[in-house]
């Protein structure tokens, strides 16, 4: 075991002061140290995307970053998407278009889509499909996920116009 270090993670607007080993990934810290288990753990080597969170607004793989590296960054997880009982547009679209089956991949897709739509509202449909290929879903066959994210994007554009 290596020496523990002090780190404060800022997750969904709340500070979590932690003492942990540098080898703890951001994913481990979010789930085990902060108790936010909505972020899922799949492959732990960057392939599946179940662990996707937003780091200063950017969707990233939480399993490919060490928690010590995230000091000072604003982290957003699935627990921070809804405002009280009001779901965000991507969450609502996943329900309306049946983008969820077993739900294992869902937090990762919601964070991915939320991050990409906020960063790049002008994204083309081809690019959107390419982005959604980042994460693995073993249930839905992707079609309803694509439909849901397109619907959320349309709502976002409609609202902005």
Partner 1 sequence: MKPAPFAYHRPTTLDATLRLLAELAPQEGRVLAGGQSLAPMMAFRLARPAHLIDINAVAGLNGLAVRERGLRVGAGVRHAEFHRPVVDGPLGVMLASIVRHIAHYPIRMRGTFCGSLAHADPAAEWCVVAVTLDAELVAVGIKGERVIPAAGFFRGPMETTLEPDELLCEARLPLLPDDTRFGFAEFSRRAGDYAQAMALAVLHLEGTLITAARVGLGGVEAVPRRVAAAETILEGEVPGAEAFNAAAAAAAAAIEPLQDPQTDAQYRRELTHAMVYRALMRACPPPGAQR
x/- map, 19-58, ligand FAD, by CB under 6 A: ---------------------------xx-----------
Residue 82 touches which of ligand FAD, partner 1, ligand FES, none (CB < 5 to 8 A by kind)? none
Residues 6 or more apart whose CB falls under 8 angstroms from that of 18 comprise 6, 7, 8, 9, 29, 33, 34, 67
Q: Which of ligand FAD, partner 1, ligand FES, none lies near 30, with the C-beta cut-off 5 to 8 A by kind? A: none
Strand partners, 61: 52
Residue 124, interface with partner 1 (CB under 8 A)?
Answer: no
Q: What is the dihedral of CA 146, 148, 153, 158, to 10 degrees?
A: 140
| Residue 45 binds to partner 1 (criterion: CB under 8 A) | yes
Of the two residues 14 and 22, which places its CB atom closer to partner 1 in the complex?
A: 22
Q: Does 95 bind ligand FES (CB under 6 A)?
A: no
Residue 126 to residue 149: CA distance in whole angstroms: 13
Q: Which residue has the tokens 């609202």?
A: 159
Contact residue for partner 1 among 32, 33, 44, 155 (CB under 8 A) = 44
Beta bridge partners of 14: 11
Pick 41 or 87: Cβ nearer ligand FES: 41
Residues listed for the chain: 161
Q: Is 37 helix (H, G, I), strand (E, B) or coil?
A: coil
Q: Which does 137 bind (CB under 5 to 8 A by kind): ligand FAD, partner 1, ligand FES, none?
A: ligand FES
Positive or negative: CA dihedral 15, 79, 159, 61? positive
Binding region for partner 1 (CB under 8 A):
1-3, 5, 21-23, 25, 28, 44-46, 49, 52, 55, 58-61, 63-66, 68-69, 112, 116, 130-131, 133-135
């Amino acid at each position: 075991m290596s020496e523990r270090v002090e780190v404060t993670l800022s997750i969904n607007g709340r500070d979590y002061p932690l003492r942990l080993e540098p080898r703890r990934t951001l994913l481990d810290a979010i789930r085990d140290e902060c108790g936010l288990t909505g972020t899922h753990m799949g492959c732990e080597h960057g392939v599946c995307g179940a662990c996707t969170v937003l780091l200063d607004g950017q969707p990233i793989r939480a399993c490919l970053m060490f928690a010590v590296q995230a000091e000072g960054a604003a982290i957003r997880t699935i627990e921070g998407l809804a405002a009280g009982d009001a779901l965000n547009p991507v969450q609502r679209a996943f329900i309306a278009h049946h983008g969820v089956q077993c739900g294992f991949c869902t937090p990762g897709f919601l964070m991915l889509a939320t991050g990409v739509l906020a960063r790049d509202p002008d994204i083309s449909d081809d690019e959107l499909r390419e982005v959604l290929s980042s994460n693995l879903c073993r249930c839905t066959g992707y079609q309803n996920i694509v439909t849901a994210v397109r619907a959320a994007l349309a709502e976002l554009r409609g609202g902005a116009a």
